[in-house]
Structure 1
Amino acid sequence: MSDITIVTAYFDIGRNNWKGYERNNNKYIQYFKFWAKIRNNIIVYTNKDLVEKIYEIRNNYGLKERTKVIAIEDIHDIDTLLYKKMKEVMANEISLNFHFHKEIKRPEAWNVEYNYVTFLKYYFVNKAITDFKLNGLISWLDFGFNHGGNLGLIDSDDFDFHWKYNFSKKIHLFAVKKINKERPIFDIIRNLDTYIMGGIMIAPSDMWGTFYNLTRQSMINLLECGFCDDDQTIALMAYYKKSDLFEIHDINFWFDGIKNFGGEHFKFDKNKKIINKKYKEYKYRARILLGDGHYKLSWEYFKKYLKYRIRGSSI
């Protein structure tokens, strides 16, 4: 079985002030603490005031020697040209009002800091590979992965294992919905829809540079069209550009990328709050679309709502 090095990052972008999406630093530290028992080597990029706290958590699990935490002074200095263009595009009212579901106020629709910091995950994995001369399989894993047990994986002790899996020499992405190549990217953005799960991505070390270049070019292409979105749409666009480099895994739950690929021992609760959150969101989307006169789309979302509401199933 192949060993896997994990790269992650967390930066305070003021999320504690986002109505309906409030999460402060302490919340994210608790999220990280839930999965930080994993015995793999971990590289973390973060604000300088959180460096010692992250080391402390890993040290409490006897894993400090398998941990590197790097402070970043200002994330906006990483890709100033891209950040500037993202700000320009997301300040445009036409771009904001393009979304069907702007009333839901999803951060990828209005918050440039969110879209920028989620895009940087591709940069940070590539940086870690270069700075630390990493070889073998490298995984991005969100700092807040599984939201401290709220997204299905219920036992923190299940992370007390060494994650290994023989992934092929491709870029591995995990799709929570069957990819439809005939659907234009603008329609996915307009509906705030998701295909690729950005919380976990895996590739051999020599593939991440290509992946980063594909994602950056994808973001530039999107911005040139007056759109902006988060890392999940960008990953999908990268796949469209060079699909032969990728292996897409269709999954049922957001955590299946680790559970189904080396973490089969994980205990989970498929009826966790994520299910209820989904059916409420679909019901709301159906109502908004109906009010806008989009009857066909409204019916499609209402069917998804019923699927979640009655069966408690996943996409």
Structure 2
Amino acid sequence: MDLLRQHCSKNLPKNNNKLITTTLENKQITALLDIGRDRWNQYGRTIAQYHQFFRYLLQLRLPMVVFVDNKSWHFVHRERSRIGWGIKTKVKRISLSQLPFFSFKSKVTKIMREELNNWENEWNPSMRSHPEASHPEYSLLVNSKTFFLVEAAAENPFGTEFFVWLDAGYGHGDRSIFPPAWKWQPKFEKGIISLIKLTPPTDLINHYNLQSLYRQDISVISGGFLAGDRNSIIRLHQLYYKKFINLIEKQKIDDDQTMLVLLINEYPEFFHIYYGDWFDAFELF
């Protein structure tokens, strides 16, 4: 069995931490930047709706580094201080234009415009309205998750060894998916990136490539959760950045879910895949 199949066949029972080696404290990383979704005709969402979702995530009793713009700065400070975890929270103010990938906005805009005007027959027509195919700001933001992670790992204000990415809207406001009393003590393996695959083990990830995923309504990997130790986070960002540039050079742009599948296929030994649903992180780890 090759390395890819070895790692993709691991399906640990829920809450089974015996195979995980570390008990060090983890740090949660997340970000919320307004990209104008309240003005979208489809897949729109106001910043107030995001705050309703975000409020649940901010209740977690974990050290946090939170990247936000001006619209969420006071909200995050208030929510974390209210539960007595303000001292274990680093809120970093940032705008979309400060993200490294923002320098590619004109190229991404051009790619999307040309695609929409010359939609390929093999592409799913419904994808024309999906944000990863029609909104440059969205693609630039969701592809910046490893940047947020590596920034937090570099500064490491709370001296933690492991870093966990959770989308700001993780759980979509469903209290039942979060742990009791908001206490979560996940355990991860060192030297690899842990993530969640949405399709079953029989759906081998090496059957997917850029052509089979591009502009198709297929979800294989959840981009809402990523975890790894400091050195693994740094390596992930380097690989991700290189792959992003590679796609741009091919006149293509996609979201983080597609990017992660491509990286897993190239570096299977670097990823530990767990199987679950979109919001299963608190049960699996």
Where does residue 90 of structure 1 map in the other structure? Answer: 112
Question: 37, 40, 48: which is aligned to 1:15?
Answer: 37
Change over 3 Å in CA distance of 1:61–1:19 after alignment to 2: same
Q: Deviations over 1:113-147 (max 9, x none)?
A: 11100011110110111123654110111011011
Where does residue 294 of structure 1 map in the other structure? Answer: none
Counterpart CA distance in 2 for 1:58 and 1:221 is 39
2:120 is aligned with 1:120: no
2:229 is aligned with 1:207: no
Q: Percent identity?
A: 23
What secondary structure, in the 3-state scheme, does the structure 1 residue paired with 2:91 have? strand
Amino acid at match of 1:225: K
Q: Report the RMSD for the aligned CA atoms in angstroms.
A: 2.1
Question: 45, 62, 74: which is aligned to 1:40?
Answer: 62
Amino acid at match of 2:24: S
Amino acid at match of 1:125: L
Counterpart CA distance in 2 for 1:23 and 1:213 is 31
Greater per-residue helix proportion: 1
Counterpart CA distance in 2 for 1:164 and 1:89 is 40
Question: 223, 230, 234: which is aligned to 2:248?
Answer: 223
Counterpart CA distance in 2 for 1:179 and 1:160 is 34
Where does residue 65 of structure 1 map in the other structure? Answer: 87
- C-alpha deviation, 1:241, in angstroms: 2.1
2:260 is aligned with 1:238: no
Q: How does 1:87-166 map to 2 (within 5 A)?
A: 87-93=109-115, 97-98=119-120, 99-102=123-126, 105-132=129-156, 134-149=159-174, 154=176, 158=180, 160-166=182-188
Greater Cα shift, 125-134 or 195-204: 125-134
Counterpart CA distance in 1 for 2:263 and 2:240 is 5
Counterpart CA distance in 2 for 1:6 and 1:204 is 12
**Gapped runs of 5+ residues in structure 1?**
262-315
Amino acid at match of 2:242: Q
Counterpart CA distance in 2 for 1:246 and 1:157 is 25
Q: Deviations over 1:24-68 (max 9, x none)?
A: 111111111112211110101110232111110111111111111
Change over 3 Å in CA distance of 1:64–1:135 after alignment to 2: closer
Amino acid at match of 1:5: K
Counterpart CA distance in 1 for 2:188 and 2:69 is 33
Counterpart CA distance in 2 for 1:21 and 1:200 is 21
Where does residue 15 of structure 2 map in the other structure? Answer: none
2:213 is aligned with 1:188: yes
**Contact 1:89 1:227 (8 Å CA) reproduced:** yes
**Contact 1:179 1:195 (8 Å CA) reproduced:** no
Where does residue 18 of structure 2 map in the other structure? Answer: none
Where does residue 273 of structure 1 map in the other structure? Answer: none
Counterpart CA distance in 1 for 2:151 and 2:94 is 12
Q: Which has the higher contact order (CA 8 A, sep 6+)?
A: 2
Change over 3 Å in CA distance of 1:128–1:247 after alignment to 2: same
Change over 3 Å in CA distance of 1:23–1:80 after alignment to 2: closer
Greater Cα shift, 110-119 or 48-57: 48-57
Question: 215, 226, 249: which is aligned to 2:274?
Answer: 249
**Contact 2:99 2:144 (8 Å CA) reproduced:** no
Counterpart CA distance in 1 for 2:99 and 2:161 is 29
2:78 is aligned with 1:53: no
- C-alpha deviation, 1:162, in angstroms: 3.6
- C-alpha deviation, 1:14, in angstroms: 0.5
**Contact 2:66 2:91 (8 Å CA) reproduced:** yes
What secondary structure, in the 3-state scheme, does the structure 1 residue paired with 2:205 have? coil
What secondary structure, in the 3-state scheme, does the structure 1 residue paired with 2:206 have? coil
Q: TM-score, normalised by structure 1?
A: 0.75
**Gapped runs of 5+ residues in structure 2?**
1-22
Question: 176, 198, 202: which is aligned to 2:223?
Answer: 198
Where does residue 271 of structure 1 map in the other structure? Answer: none
